[in-house]
A and B are shown apart, each in its own frame.
Chain A
Amino acid sequence: MGQWAGYLQLILDGAIVTIQLTLMGSALALVMAFLAGLGRLSRFAPVRWLATAYIEFFRGTSIFVQLFWAYFVLPLFGFSLTPLQAGVLALGLNVGAYGAEVVRGAIKSIGKEQYEACTALNFNRWQGLRYIILPQAFVLMLPTFGNNAIELLKASAVVSLISLTDMTFQAQVVRAQTGNTLVPFLTILVLYFAIACVITFAIRGLERHLTRGLDGIRS
């Protein structure tokens, strides 16, 4: 029994790494999603091209390959990253590319009349976006952002391939040391699901909080 407690501790240590990766990767993905999503709506063609190139490239290539580039190929050009940095970079850029389309779609779905009200009230482009369009669009982005965050959580298992000691990596260690496959992999199955549930509830809570004003009194 004491032996299993030690192995469970190993897997829980891995879970911390997985959660770290998910949080930091999601933060980077969120920033990239807004940069590229707004970039695609820019008035300046080169900005649009750059954003489109980023989105198409990172959606169109495997996250596995992207991670190996970040960890094994970039050092050949003089950029050495720790496994965690490489993991966050690959996950953030990859999921950010999907998020960018969510940002763009949500902004485009806000009716023309809101933009016209902004013009009639003499807001400049940035003020209209910041105070009128984005707050309404953000609520629409949330459910899909939740999906993306869960995708990112699950994709984070690939970092075990660059020797980052995440949950999947630790499960393999336990399996190698004990010869038991069922227990470690059942444990991480439950843990991945539990973390995904936390993300789901967090996003739902945020959505409720943000939409409350839309049909109720401002609190």
Chain B
Amino acid sequence: MPALNSPPIIEINGISKSFGAFKVLNDLSFSVAPGEKLALIGPSGSGKTTILRILMTLEGIDGGDIKVDGDDLYKMQRNGKLQPADEAHLHKMREKIGMVFQLFNLFPHKCVLDNVTLAPMLTKGVARKDAERHAMELLEMVGLADKAKSMPSQLSGGQKQRVAIARALALKPKIMLFDEVTSALDPELVEEVLNVLWKLCRETDMTMLLVTHEMGFAHDFADRVLFFDRGRIVEDGKPDEIFRHPKQERTQAFLKKIIAAGHRV
């Protein structure tokens, strides 16, 4: 359950972001409670993925500020003044955040086990033995313990994505970002990945942000849903409110289109 009375773990305050002349995010603000499971939905190009990429420091911001776990993400205190974050500050902040990508981004030259153990060993100095034991627990959890020595090229898309989830979890982040993690999968492989997300959702108190087009899953998974359009939050509410009784016309239109395309809501 989200700790709604605690201070937010993510505070986004008036951020904007442009790619060239295209304004992806426009004076956007929202916050996330510790442990909250948040689904971000909306049409393509509405800025959902950009938010995750900004939180993972893969993209910078043009304006506004972001606090993660109480600390400024893109600014740091130095000599009593706020300054743009340097690499060391970003490194420290990234420890709190993990991300799973749409296209898995596994390391093709490393076996499954090495994909999972490399980051804890390199960035946290975990001993190989301990990293491997933890990795095997995680692979067990995603149902791929028997694939530990396989190479990514030998796995199906769904298996790759489950490895990618285990790899991100190996760093024990407080916040997990899932960027359309089932969008690149064949339909019959979607469920095995959603099952893993579901397990994480039920069994951990990690804060999770999920960008998805799987509306049925978003409904069951999320404590709260944000509907995005053109870089702004159009509607923010409990899954039932958003999916069953959307107040905004744009939300209604979007959901209607999705249902017409055959997705369960």
Query: Considering the chains assembled together, what is the distance between the CA atoms of A135 and B109 in angstroms?
Result: 8
Task: Kindly state the interface size class of chain A when it binds its partner.
Answer: 20 to 34
Contact B167 A121 (CB under 8 A): yes
- The answer to whether residues A122 and B94 also contact, given A135-B109, A216-B151, A217-B154 and a CB cut-off of 8 A, is yes
Of the candidates A120, A132, A139, A214, the one whose C-beta lies within 8 Å of that of B98 is: A120
Query: Considering the chains assembled together, what is the distance between the CA atoms of A121 and B122 in angstroms?
Result: 10
Interface residue stretch chosen among A13-21, A52-60, A109-117: A109-117
Query: Considering the chains assembled together, what is the distance between the CA atoms of A189 and B94 in angstroms?
Result: 60
Contact B101 A119 (CB under 8 A): no
Instruction: Give A132's nearest chain B residue, CB to CB.
Output: B107
Instruction: Give A211's nearest chain B residue, CB to CB.
Output: B109
Q: Which residues of the partner chain B approach A114 to less than 8 Å between Cβ atoms?
A: 105, 107
Q: Which residues of the partner chain B approach A132 to less than 8 Å between Cβ atoms?
A: 107
Q: Which residues of the partner chain A approach B94 to less than 8 Å between Cβ atoms?
A: 119-120, 122
Task: Kindly state the interface size class of chain B when it binds its partner.
Answer: 20 to 34
Q: Which residues of the partner chain B approach A218 to less than 8 Å between Cβ atoms?
A: 111, 149, 151
- The answer to whether residues A122 and B103 also contact, given A127-B122, A136-B108, A217-B150 and a CB cut-off of 8 A, is no
- The answer to whether residues A120 and B168 also contact, given A113-B105, A216-B151, A217-B154 and a CB cut-off of 8 A, is yes
Query: Considering the chains assembled together, what is the distance between the CA atoms of A127 and B109 in angstroms?
Result: 15
Q: Which residues of the partner chain A approach B122 to less than 8 Å between Cβ atoms?
A: 123, 127, 131
Instruction: Give B113's nearest chain A residue, CB to CB.
Output: A218
Query: Considering the chains assembled together, what is the distance between the CA atoms of A214 and B153 in angstroms?
Result: 7
Q: Which residues of the partner chain A approach B39 to less than 8 Å between Cβ atoms?
A: none
- The answer to whether residues A217 and B107 also contact, given A119-B58, A122-B95, A131-B122 and a CB cut-off of 8 A, is no
Taking the closest CB of chain B, its distance from the CB of A155, in whole angstroms, is: 33
Interface assignment of B6: CB less than 8 Å from any CB of chain A: no
Q: Interface 1/0s, chain B 135-158, versus A by CB < 8 A?
A: 000000000000001110110000
Contact B123 A121 (CB under 8 A): yes
Taking the closest CB of chain B, its distance from the CB of A199, in whole angstroms, is: 24
- The answer to whether residues A131 and B105 also contact, given A123-B123, A124-B87, A217-B149 and a CB cut-off of 8 A, is no
Contact A120 B149 (CB under 8 A): no
Taking the closest CB of chain B, its distance from the CB of A136, in whole angstroms, is: 5
Interface SS of chain A: helix, strand, loop or mixed?
Answer: helix
Query: Considering the chains assembled together, what is the distance between the CA atoms of A217 and B87 in angstroms?
Result: 36
Interface assignment of B91: CB less than 8 Å from any CB of chain A: yes
Contact A113 B101 (CB under 8 A): yes
Query: Considering the chains assembled together, what is the distance between the CA atoms of A119 and B123 in angstroms?
Result: 11
Query: Considering the chains assembled together, what is the distance between the CA atoms of A38 and B87 in angstroms?
Result: 20
Interface assignment of B9: CB less than 8 Å from any CB of chain A: no
Contact B109 A213 (CB under 8 A): yes
Contact B118 A131 (CB under 8 A): yes
Query: Considering the chains assembled together, what is the distance between the CA atoms of A116 and B56 in angstroms?
Result: 9
Q: Interface 1/0s, chain B 41-61, versus A by CB < 8 A?
A: 000000000000000111000
Q: Which residues of the partner chain B approach A123 to less than 8 Å between Cβ atoms?
A: 119, 122-123
Query: Considering the chains assembled together, what is the distance between the CA atoms of A113 and B149 in angstroms?
Result: 23
Identify which of A121, A125, A135 gathers the most chain B CB atoms within 10 Å of its CB: A121
Contact B91 A124 (CB under 8 A): yes
Q: Which residues of the partner chain A approach B99 to less than 8 Å between Cβ atoms?
A: 120
Interface assignment of B171: CB less than 8 Å from any CB of chain A: yes
- Residues on A close to B: CB < 8 A? 113-114, 116-117, 119-125, 127, 131-132, 135-136, 139, 213-218
